[in-house]
Amino acid sequence: MNTQDVLAKMQELIGEQFAVDAEEITMETSFEEDLGADSVDLVELVMAMEEEFDIGEVEEDEVSELKTVGDCVNYLVNKMK
- Predicted local distance difference test score (pLDDT) of residue 33: 97
Beta carbons within 8 Å of 33's beta carbon, 6+ residues apart: none
- Predicted local distance difference test score (pLDDT) of residue 4: 96
- Set 5, 21, 38, 41: catalytic member: 38
Name the pLDDT band for 81 (thresholds 50, 70, 90): confident
27-71 pLDDT, tens per residue?
A: 999 999 999 999 899 999 999 999 999 999 999 899 999 999 999
The residue-averaged pLDDT of 11-21 equals 96
The residue-averaged pLDDT of 9-16 equals 96
User: What's the whole-model pTM score?
Assistant: 0.92
The residue-averaged pLDDT of 22-27 equals 96
Per CATH, the architecture of 3-79 is what? Orthogonal Bundle (1.10)
Active-site residue flag, 21: no
